[in-house]
Structure 1
Amino acid sequence: MRCLRRFSLALVLITSVAAASPNAGVPALSVTAPNGQTSILMGSAHVGVEGMLEPDASIFAHAKRFITEHTGAPVPGDSGTSSGTGRAAWATTLTDAEIDVYLQRTRCAHLADAVALSYLARPSVQWANQYAYTICDGSAVPPPRDAVVLGEKPLDVLSGTLEDDAPTEARRRTVPPRVAEDAFRWALQHDPKTVLDGIRDAMNRGDYESLREQVDQSFGSAAGAATMNHIMVDERNAAWMPKLRGYLDEGHAVILVGAMHLPGPQGLISRLRSVGYTVTPILLPARGAVN
C-alpha cells in the first residue's frame, strides 16, 4: 500500500550518514532501566519507502515483549460526518481541483472513488492523508516498519501497547479542523516521492531532527505544527510514561513508537533520562545485511 498514515520523527541519534545499504545498520536506542534491565526502543516513520533500512528478526533474540503505541483497531463513529455537506469539518473547503488531485492519487493506490470520497467524511484526516501521499510512478512500495517488525515477531514474544485505541482516536478528533485541512492541502500541493524520499534518507542516517523539520513543514505553518505536536505527541508521551517504565523495568522489550515521540524536552529520551534511565544510540542489524 502506498500510504502515509502520519509522519513520526525525532532527534539526531547517530550523526554518521548511513547510505541505503543493509550493511549500514538501523538506528535505534538501547534503554537501560535503573535496575539494570535493558530493552530496545525504535522510532518508526509509519510509512514504507523503497530503500528504507529495516531491522531483521535478530532484534527478538532475547525479547520477552513487543510493544507498540496501540493496536489500530477500528473505533465507533469513525466513518461519521460532522457537517451537512457529506464531508467532515476539516474537508468542507476543499476545492474541486484539490479533490481531483486526491482522487488521482487514490486511483494509483487502486482505491475506488466512492471509498476515497468516504474518507473525506471521517472525523479525522488520518485515512485521507495517508492516500494523499500515494506515489503514482507504478513502483512497488514496501510495508512500513510497524508491519515489518510485527511480521518478524516470534509467537512466544508477548504483545503489548502503550495506550488504548478509543482515547487515541478521540484525541485525534480534537485536532482543530483548520490544522487538519492545512496538512491535507499541503500534501496535495507537494510531490509525494520527493517528500517520502526525504523521510527515507533521514531515517536511514538517523537524522531525526531533519525528519522533524520535514514533518513540521507538512502542517503548513509553525502554529499548526505546534498544535499537532502538543495534542498528538507531547500529551501522549506524558500519558505513556507509567506503562513504558513498567515495560522497561521488566526488560527484554522491543518497543516501537513513532520517531516524533523521541526528541525534545517533552520527548521520551529526555523524559526517561530525567528519571534515571540510560538511553544510548545503537545500530541494529538490517534485513539482508552481509556479515
Structure 2
Amino acid sequence: MHRWTTLDDVPADLGPTVATLGNFDGVHRGHHAVLDTVTSVARDRGLAAVAVTFDPHPVAVLHPERAPQEICGLQRRLDLLEETGLDGVVVVEFTREYAQLTPEDFVVQTFVRGLRAQVVVIGHDSRFGLHNSGDADTMRELGRVHGFEVIVPGTLGETDHGVRAWSSTALREAITSGDVPGAAEALGRLHSVSGEVVHGHHRGRELGFPTANLAADSEGLVPADGVYAGWLTRPGLPADHPDHRLPAAVSVGTNPTFDDVERSVEAYVLDRDDLDLYGETVRVEFVQRLRDNLRFTSVEELMEQIGADVDRVRELLA
C-alpha cells in the first residue's frame, strides 16, 4: 500500500480511483464496512482503492481542550488500513487553514482533482468542510455536479456487549471503562497498546513475576486501571516464532501497595523469567479484565493475589 503525505504526492499514473475519507481512529468494524466497499468496488471496476485520512485529529487542532485520546497511533492506523487491501492512503496534515475549505472546495481539491475519483464511498455520519457542514447528502449533490458516484453503506448495529453502533467514540468509552471484550467485538480484533520495554522498579522480578514495563509514550489508548488477561506480541519476531505471541497477565495503573503515582502498563509473561525484552518494542493485547487494582497490607498477600491472577489468566487463555 502506498502512503502519501500530500495529494501532490499521488502519482499521475495512478489512474481514476474509488475513494473515501475519515479519521479511521481504531480502524473498527464500522470503518471496515466503508473500506470493504471501497476495495470491492475498486476491484470490480479495475480502479485504485484510496483512503484520505488526517493527522493530527481535526478536533485536536480546532478544539484542543476537547481532543479525544487516540485509540491507536498513526503508524498502527496505517498498518491496519493496509490490511484492508487499499492501494493507497493520503495522510493530510490538518490545519486551521485547511479547515476553512468549503465542502465543495474540499471535494474538488481532494476527490475531483487530487484523486480523480469515479466513486466516493462515505459513512452515513461523515462530515467534511467548513464547520463540518458537509454530509452524505452534500456529497451526493456534489457527485451529481462533478460527475462521480456516491455510495453510503448502511449503519451497523450494536455488539453483544452493548457497545452502540460501531463508532470511535463508543469504542473509546468501552476501552476506558475496561470493557475490552466489547472493544474487541467492535474492532474485530483485540485492543492493544504498543511501546518500548523500559526499566521499572524491578519489584516484579524480586517477587518472582518479572514484568515488561511499557514506556510512558506508548501508542494506543490505555484501558481502565486493573489487572487483565492478555497477550504480549513481539512484532520483531517472525509470526511462526514460538516467542512471537505469549500469554500474559497485564497490570494497568499505579501500584497502590507501594504508593506509586505514575500510571503504567506492565505485562508478566506466564511462566517465563528468561526473556530480555529491554529496548524492544512490543504490543500488549487485552482479552479480559479480572479485577481492580488493590492495596495489599503485606508483600505476602500481594504475591498470593498475583498467583491467583496468573492462574485465572492461564484458564482464560487456555
| TM-score (normalizing by structure 1) | 0.29
Report the structure, 1 or 2, having the larger helix content: 1
Answer 1 or 2: higher relative contact order, Cα 8 Å, separation at least 6.
1
Report the structure, 1 or 2, having the larger strand content: 2
